[in-house]
Amino acid sequence: MRAFSTIAVLLTAALSVFATPLAERQTPASVAVVLSQLSSSVTPLANQLLYATPENATSENLTPIIGGISTSVTGAVSSLNLLVGQPTTVIMASVDGTTQLAATDISSILSEIVNLIFTSLSAVLAVVDATILTLITSLVSELGTLVFSLLSVVLSLVVGLLAPLLVLLAPVLSIISSLGLTSLLGDLLGGLLGGIL
């Protein structure tokens, strides 16, 4: 009797998994979930760049670190693209799914990641040896470009993000400009402002 009821419970549980509506199973991760995961994967890598010394800022050390950050950002952009066309409740769901976030919440998570990436890139460029500067600079601008795709997709998903985001990104604008990425920023903002005007 007991064994039967156990099996019945297990079967019910198994069937309810299959019975979950397709739409529910396929609900993509919210912006907050994707950005939190991105932050966890990027932070330890970026910290290695941030605290790099002339001794350990070698191309052997730096290439996989910058590559790892690039891979994470690319993955986040793909996940965020799945949110295009989803209802606001899905896009703006908090990490635990219980509440809805505001654009200002997203701007703080996003700017923390973007600021950390640009600050760490600037820090590492300041210590690398002249012999690998060209190599590292090209990895850095590739990553910078990816970060702009990240900004662009989040801006397209979250209404009202631009104003709070710009305030929070202000501290790294000079870094973006010293990395030679100002034109990308101009394209991004030009596209957005063009869309508004």
Ligand X SMILES: *[C@@H]1O[C@H](CO)[C@@H](O)[C@H](O)[C@H]1NC(C)=O
Binding site for ligand X (CB under 6 A): 48, 51-53, 56-57, 61-62, 65
> Residue 137 or residue 149: which is nearer to ligand X going by CB?
137
> Residue 128 or residue 162: which is nearer to ligand X going by CB?
128
Residue nearest to ligand X (CB): 51
- Does residue 157 contact residue 83 with C-beta atoms inside 8 Å? yes
> Residue 65 or residue 143: which is nearer to ligand X going by CB?
65
Residue 177 beta carbon to ligand X: minimum distance, rounded to whole angstroms: 25
Within 8 A by CB and 6+ apart from 35, the residues are 76, 106, 109, 110, 113, 154
Residue 131 beta carbon to ligand X: minimum distance, rounded to whole angstroms: 16
> Residue 62 or residue 117: which is nearer to ligand X going by CB?
62
- Does residue 92 contact residue 31 with C-beta atoms inside 8 Å? yes
Alpha-helical regions (H) of the chain: 2-19, 22-25, 31-50, 59-81, 88-91, 103-127, 133-157, 162-178, 182-196
Dihedral of the alpha carbons of 151, 156, 161, 162, in degrees to the nearest 10 = 70
Residue 40 beta carbon to ligand X: minimum distance, rounded to whole angstroms: 17
Residue 190 beta carbon to ligand X: minimum distance, rounded to whole angstroms: 35
